[in-house]
Structure formats: structure tokens, C-alpha cells
């Protein structure tokens, strides 16, 4: 199989919403819970707020890199599954535990007059979800999505207090999805894998006022993923191949932030609005009709997600000239209404806690560690897809080790 309609199955929430986004794409990004927009002060400004790079040392270049280890505990479901026929069967089960290793790299150039350039290469989100239980395998045996975002940007320093920037979002996505109903007496299967390149843009502004107050605003556009490729279906002993296509719109996101220096402390508050309401339906198109037994794979599925808010607070404490301590907290809303929760995205609102340190080893080199815990709230649902029960546990643990180099 070549390029396949995979990303649409997991929905746009994989990348940018509460569902499975990963805004923590640097050392300080993890340690501060992504409250790193107005006060970013290194190479990762290229991603979090490229306009802020205008206020870094004009004669220096900034390079930053790191590795994030992600641990996804099992999500536990307790309840039943109702099918279109009216049959209700027990469906209590747990997902498999997952782990991932995600690198990040950021660069900010020296100033060329009023201009400055940046580049980030990050993993902005993804999904690794597997069920081995009979009922869940029919709906979501495996969903595995990896993304890489290349984000070049250019910044213009308007004056001593204001800077503006614009950048491109070049998104590469690759993944695999599988469904298998044979363990519950439904002889149907689906296997897909594929990749896609898609594009968007981002803009940012930074305003540095007196008394250590910084204001920032960033905006990332929605991205239209025009996916097309091959799908293989199993119907009893038969294997059927199709061409398929679907368009999926990843939602736009607006971020507003303010930071304040208070003696040895820097406090930052961040508000993020993600425009999920653009995700209304999931609709596949095939080059020929599917057999009646596979009609469920060709249905136009309503999603009707809602716009969400995320609130972040980050605190840095400069303990000494070399050591900075950090902590953060976020409240992250899920875009998925109760009626549309699914096994591939059993999402809920989250409380996120983070902490870390940064050590300036020398004039040019520094390093540190950040940790983060994403606690998902228990969610009881009765969905239009027949899920009647409670999702619990899950969430995520992140550990990021990173370095910063100025030259």
C-alpha cells in the first residue's frame, strides 16, 4: 500500500487540539508546560514565538536541541458496546501501554540589520493507540501516527519594543491504521498505511514594555490535508483493494501571552484558543462502491467538535547565575463532545503539571531536564457510536533532556 487515507480516521485532534497534541517541543517547553511564548529566550523562540527572537543578542546565533521520551499508560474502559442491530455486548478493556522518542531542533540566526531568521524541526503531535480486545479491535485495533513539522521563519524588528514575524508550516505525516472484527463474529478487516505533505503558515508579534513586561501573540493557520492512496479490505477470505481520498482541515490556533520579571522570577500566563469547530464530518471517497458488508467504512461520520481553550502558567526562578528552576501548570479542554467520543480518541479534559531545571555550563553552552505529567479526567459517555461506559486513566508522562548553544 502507498499513500492512504489514514490521518482523517484519527481526526484533526491528533495534531493541534487537546486530543493528542504535543506543544512541549523543547527543554523549557516541557519544564514550563508550553508557557514559553512571551518570555522565550533561546533557540526555541523559532517555534514558540519567532518575533521574540528579535530581542536576543543581535551578534549571536542560537542552536538548541533535545529528546523527549513519552510514556502513555493504558486507558481503561469499563462498559458495553451497542451495535446498529441493537445488540449490546460487554466491552470492558484497556489499551496497550505505548512509548515514543521524539527529537527537536531549533535555530535562530544573528541579526542582519532589523531582520532575523529561524528554523524549527519538531514533532508537534501524534497518536499511538492499540486495542487487543475483541470489540475495540473492530473500531480501532491500531492507530499509529507520526508527524514532523519544519517551520522556517523570518522576523523584523520594527523598533526597540516591537517585532513581527511570519513563518511557514511544512507538515509531514506518516501512519498506519487497522481494524479487525473477526473475534466478535464480523468477518471484516481494514489495513491502511501512508504519508502526506501539507502546508500552512504562522505569524507572531512580540512587544517588550518597561518594567520587565512582555506581550506576545501567535497564530497558526488551519492546514488542509488532501490525502489520497490505497486501502485494503478483508471480507471473509477475500481481499479487496481500492483507491481512496479525503480532505481534512486541521484547525487554526491563536495564542496570547504575557510575562513579567519580578526580581529573580519570571511569571508567564498563556491563553490558547483552538478552532476545532471546523471539524464537522469524516467522509471517505472510494473509486468504486464498497460491498454492503463494508458499508460502515464508507459512512459519512459526524464529529461536530467544539472550539477549545487552554490556560497555562509558567514560573522561572533564577536561583543563581548558572541555575534556573522552572515549573508550570495547564488546564487543557478536550474538543470532543460526549456523544462523539471514540475508541481511537478516548479523550477528556486534562490537568497538566510540569517542572525542570536549566544549567548554564559555560558562557556558550547550557543544558537541562524537564518533566511533565498530563492527567486526564475520568469520562462517562453514551455516544452515538454505541459506547456506553467510562474511560479512565491514560494521560501521558514526558521527560525532555536538552541543550542550548550560543555562538
pLDDT score of 11 more than 70: no
The fold for domain 7-69+99-338 equals Porin (2.40.160)
Q: What's the CA gap between 257 and 269, in Å, rounded?
A: 6
Q: What's the CA gap between 165 and 201, in Å, rounded?
A: 11
Q: What average pLDDT does the segment 184-190 reach?
A: 89
Q: What's the CA gap between 242 and 180, in Å, rounded?
A: 18
> Where does the pLDDT of residue 20 fall: very low under 50, low under 70, confident under 90, or very high at 90 and above?
low
Chain center to CA of 93: 25
pLDDT score of 123 more than 80: yes
For 321, counting Cβ atoms within 10 Å of its Cβ (0-12 exposed, 13-18 middle, 19+ buried), the class is exposed
Q: What average pLDDT does the segment 179-190 reach?
A: 89
Among 107-116, 232-241, 263-272, 387-396, the range scoring the smallest mean pLDDT is 232-241
**What are the DSSP calls for 329-361, one per residue?**
EEEE-----GGG--SS-----EEEEEEEEEEE-
pTM of the model: 0.91
Cα dihedral 245→152→373→315 (10° resolution): -150
More confident residue, 65 or 145: 65
Q: The dihedral of CA 31, 33, 38, 44: what is its sign?
A: positive
pLDDT score of 87 more than 80: yes
Cβ(67)–Cβ(101) below 8 Å: yes
* pLDDT of amino acid 10: 36
Q: What average pLDDT does the segment 137-153 reach?
A: 88
Residues 6+ apart with CB under 8 A from 65: 103, 104, 105, 106, 402, 403
More confident residue, 171 or 12: 171
Query: Domain-by-domain residue ranges, the chain?
Result: 7-69+99-338
CA distances from 250 to 171, 304, 388 (A): 11, 14, 28
Amino acid at each position: 500500500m502507498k499513500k492512504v487515507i489514514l490521518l482523517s480516521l484519527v481526526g484533526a485532534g491528533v495534531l493541534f487540539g487537546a486530543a493528542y497534541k504535543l506543544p512541549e517541543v523543547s527543554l523549557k517547553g516541557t519544564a514550563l508546560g508550553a508557557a514559553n511564548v512571551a518570555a522565550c529566550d533561546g533557540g526555541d523562540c523559532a517555534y514558540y514565538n519567532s518575533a521574540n527572537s528579535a530581542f536576543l543578542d543581535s551578534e549571536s546565533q542560537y542552536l538548541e536541541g533535545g529528546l523527549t521520551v513519552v510514556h502513555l499508560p493504558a486507558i481503561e474502559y469499563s462498559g458495553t458496546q451497542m451495535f446498529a442491530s441493537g445488540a449490546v455486548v460487554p466491552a470492558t478493556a484497556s489499551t496497550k501501554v505505548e512509548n515514543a522518542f521524539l527529537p527537536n531542533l531549533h535555530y535562530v540566526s544573528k541579526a542582519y540589520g532589523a531582520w532575523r531568521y529561524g528554523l524549527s524541526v519538531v514533532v508537534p503531535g501524534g497518536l499511538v493507540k492499540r486495542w487487543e480486545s475483541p470489540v475495540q479491535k473492530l473500531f480501532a485495533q491500531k492507530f499509529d501516527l507520526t508527524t514532523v513539522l519544519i517551520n522556517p521563519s523570518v522576523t523584523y524588528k520594527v523598533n526597540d519594543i516591537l517585532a513581527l514575524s511570519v513563518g511557514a508550516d511544512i507538515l509531514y505525516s506518516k501512519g498506519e491504521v487497522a481494524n479487525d472484527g473477526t473475534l466478535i463474529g464480523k468477518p471484516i478487516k481494514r489495513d491502511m498505511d501512508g504519508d502526506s505533505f501539507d502546508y500552512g503558515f504562522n505569524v507572531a508579534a512580540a512587544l517588550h514594555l518597561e518594567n520587565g513586561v512582555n506581550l506576545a501573540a501567535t497564530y497558526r493557520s488551519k492546514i488542509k490535508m488532501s490525502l489520497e492512496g490505497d486501502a485494503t479490505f478483508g471480507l471473509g477470505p477475500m481481499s479487496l483493494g481500492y483507491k481512496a481520498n479525503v480532505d481534512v482541515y486541521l484547525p487554526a490556533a491563536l495564542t496570547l501571552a504575557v510575562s513579567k520579571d519580578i526580581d529573580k522570577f519570571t511569571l508567564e500566563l498563556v491563553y490558547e484558543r483552538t478552532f476545532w469547530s471546523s471539524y464537522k464530518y469524516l467522509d471517505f471517497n472510494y473509486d468504486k462502491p464498497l460491498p454492503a458488508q463494508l458499508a460502515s467504512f464508507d459512512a459519512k461520520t459526524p464529529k461536530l467538535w467544539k472550539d477549545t481553550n487552554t490556560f497555562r502558567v509558567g514560573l522561572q526562578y533564577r536561583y543563581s547565575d548558572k541555575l534556573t528552576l522552572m515549573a508550570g501548570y495547564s488546564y487543557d479542554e478536550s474538543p470532543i463532545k460526549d456523544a462523539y467520543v471514540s475508541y481511537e480518541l478516548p479523550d477528556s479534559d486534562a490537568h497538566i503539571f510540569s517542572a525542570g531545571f536549566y544549567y548554564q555550563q559555560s558562557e556558550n553552552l547550557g543544558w537541562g531536564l524537564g518533566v511533565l505529567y498530563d492527567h486526564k479526567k475520568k469520562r462517562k459517555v453514551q455516544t452515538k457510536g454505541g459506547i456506553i461506559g467510562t474511560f479512565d486513566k491514560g494521560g501521558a508522562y514526558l521527560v525532555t533532556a536538552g541543550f542550548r548553544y550560543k555562538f
